[in-house]
Structure 1
Amino acid sequence: MHKNNWACFLLILAGIVIGGFIGNLFPSTWLNYGQTFGLSSPIVFDMGIMCITFGLTIKVTVASIVGIVLALVIYRFL
């Protein structure tokens, strides 16, 4: 049986979001321990008539990693 890669991708994204949500529910526990990386200030291109701003920050926590693992386990059993 062929498994859909989009389903795996969506499950992983859902695991990240739910894990981040759980980490924010319990801010003083070990679940919210993690690292943030990315651009500290956004890059701005001002071209006179149009202004484009680029920025990306990713926060990896224990809860989001647990969410990814649970999503992969659920995908395996689908």
Structure 2
Amino acid sequence: MRKKNNWTCFLLILAGIVLGGFIGSLFPDSWVNFGQTFGLTSPFILDLGILSVTFGLTIRITIGSIIGIFAAIVIYRFI
């Protein structure tokens, strides 16, 4: 029996999130695109005089991305 790689699972879950979000954006008025957004709505700017750094992070979780995560886990179990 082959040992499963954790990186494979991580990459499959990321691909499931991206594909689920893409499918949700294809149907903007559907239940697949229903979700919640978390994070900073406006970026945080740190100005040090000679260096200016902008921080910002927004995560959008939709029903499509959750379906993509479950599909990735099922695919991973069959690999």
| Shorter-chain TM-score range | over 0.9
The runs of at least 4 aligned residues of structure 1 exceeding 4 Å deviation read: none
CA distance in 1, matches of 2:50, 2:3: 49
Shift of 1:2: 1.1
The RMSD of aligned alpha carbons is: 0.6
Gaps of 5+ in 2: none
Structure 2 counterpart of 1:69? 70
Give the TM-score normalised by structure 2. Answer: 0.96
What is the aligned partner in structure 1 of residue 51 from structure 2? 50
Aligned residues: 78
Amino acid at match of 2:48: M
Segments of 5+ residues of structure 1 without an aligned counterpart are none
